[in-house]
Chain A
Amino acid sequence: MATLYLQDIRKSFGPTQVLHGVSLDVADGEMIVIVGASGCGKSTLLRIVAGLETQTSGQVVIGGQDVSGLEPADRDVAMVFQNYALYPHMSVFGNMAYGLKIRGVPKAEIERRVKEAAELLGIGALLERRPRQLSGGQRQRVAMGRAIVREPKLFLFDEPLSNLDAKLRVQMRAEIRRLQRRLGVTSLFVTHDQVEAMTLGDRLVVMHGGHAAQIATPMEIWAKPADTYVAGFIGSPAMNFLRGTLSHGGVVATLPGGVSVPLPGRAGADGNEVLIGIRPEHLRPGVGGLSPVIELVEPLGSESVLHGRLPDGSPLTARLPGAVHPEGALALTLPPESLHVFDAGSGKRIEAVA
């Protein structure tokens, strides 16, 4: 158990820079989820923490000790890989005991710790099996077990659930969370799945193009996304964006069709270009707002997702209660308190001034 501190981590592969200075401060026992689309540098960041890659510049500090130049072996971290990376020629017991043997832990102690971890994960009966005789979920547990027995300062998860089927993924997700809370080990969890990120993390790091676009709790990120990328990435279906121009002293945005949208507060000088974001579930039926033409209705039982187009041709998605909605013209209002305002140029969030 330990804290983790990353200071301005940069990484280049030849001329290509993949990390543009990421800093992160992780408290003891905290679960941090690094989430982003593929190629955003999230796995590279994790591998730098593990010591499998060397950062071009910056510092990695684990438990107050600068480990920037140390080998993976000397960092006292454990990692769970996407394809589990079990040793195929060793039994489950052998896989879990390997790290302990290397550290010279006495035999009786190894046996005790492996048995304990195996019971915790419900794989006590499988200790003599080899990895190829196990199902995906069981392999996943062995990989977790291998990490747990080491009692490391830090757990690193590199998309460990992406090779499981949907049902098992949900189950393992909950199990990982329970286990992490129970053991209280500081953890970094990399995923591209926003649902995993929202449910697992104490805090999220949303990565975009080698930057940490936002570091905050899941609810904070959902309620106050820092920029249009984060806003569009977190939440499903994705947030709608409408281009508008500020007027009336910056408290109203005028859309291209001439519709005026009152904002929750002053968002800048008149004439400024802004992007108004609204989540599909926040749109309400009612006159005086948008008038899209609905082209497709996806009933989900208690609610429906409606896909349509605004008169100017831009797409719009709404999520409304009820299973039966007709296609065709529809009137929707934009509740001011649910609107997000972003700068049209930089994409950064503009906080409303009351």
Chain B
Amino acid sequence: MRKVHFKGIALPYLLLLPQLVITGLFFFWPAGMAVYQSFLREDAFGLSSQFVGWENYADVLSDPTWLESAARTGVFSVSVAVLALGVALFLAVQADKHIRGADTYKTLLIWPYAVAPALAAVLWLFMFHPNIGIFGRMLNALGIPWDYRLNGGQALTLVILASAWKQVSYNFIFFLAGLQSIPRAVLEAAAIDGASPMRRFWTVVFPLLSPTAFFLLVVNLVYAFFDTFGVIHSLTQGGPGKSTETLIYRVYTDGVMNLNLGSSAAQSVILMIIVVVLTAVQFRYVERKVHY
């Protein structure tokens, strides 16, 4: 990093100001409001509110349906992360080989990242809708009863697929960069040492990719926790029943649909704490534990 020396202190602060204003306006203020709101409870008509301390948190954490949502979110997030990472790693390894048209292939793989979540959902809807989706109709024609609007398991599978698909491109870019930073000579040394391509991958390539993989795991979990709202909202609205209602979707349902602001705010704060913990773990682990 190049060091720049300013004469006064006005200019550096002025240059920092836009960033600070944006962060304050769009993060600290709403986050602060959420924290404040989470200690309040409104009456049924929204006319008055009173301070209730930790009561909202206690209610949320002892609500069996919330705990179910949390467990569902766990299954959902881990599935999305594992699927997105696995597919991306496979594709990156293929792209890293010197194949013809590799550049085109890479560009095409990066496209899904540019697609908005709602559009991605519509795309999957067109594929898997039981009446108008190509694969949906095909499955039904083959005698497999497919209707994600009625079957909770199928609904969860579909949102997992759609969410993972969106994240594959992001992971792909990082994995490819990681693969390309592994010195060729190290792989050649392994080849001369007698390792088969599979063995080279698992004993040399994968360990060297592990910092990248760990970073992506955290990013993917955060993505699955928070950024999949659009996909779920467009595809299933959390249904059927509550079978695709993740924690973030529940924040929306409780706050925006049911106008239970206190509980919704408390849930948001809990989610915020989760993301802070994930990020902290990432920083500590990536800097300390990954050795080379």
Contact = CB atoms under 8 A, between A and B. Distances in A.
A89 B193 contact: no
B203 A72 contact: no
A167 interface: no
B192 interface: yes
Interface string A52-95: 10000000000000000001110001110111011111000000
Nearest to A79: B192
Contact of A77 (B183, B192, B292): B192
Interface in A96-113: 98-99, 102-103
Contacts of B186: 85-88
B189 A85 contact: yes
B208 A88 contact: yes
B227 interface: no
B286 to A, nearest CB: 15
Contacts of B185: 81-83, 85
A146 B194 CA distance: 12
Interface in A115-170: 130-132, 146, 150
B153 interface: no
A35 interface: no
B196 interface: yes
Interface in A255-298: none
Given A87-B204, A130-B292, A102 B194 contact: yes
A50 interface: yes
Count chain B CB atoms within 10 A of each CB in A78, A88, A103, A132 and give the residue with the most. Answer: A88
Contacts of B199: 102
Interface string B173-202: 000000000010110111111111001000
B202 to A, nearest CB: 12
Given A52-B188, A81-B189, A89 B194 contact: no
Given A83-B185, A98-B203, A88 B292 contact: yes
B288 interface: no
Given A72-B191, A81-B188, A102-B194, A130 B183 contact: no
B183 A73 contact: no
B292 A73 contact: no
A99 B188 CA distance: 12
Contacts of B196: 73
Contacts of A132: 292
Interface in B147-181: none
Nearest to B182: A88
B291 interface: yes
A98 B202 CA distance: 13
B192 A103 contact: no
Interface of B: 183, 185-186, 188-196, 199, 203-204, 207-208, 210, 291-292
8 contacts: A72-B192, A85-B186, A87-B186, A87-B204, A88-B186, A89-B210, A89-B291, A102-B193
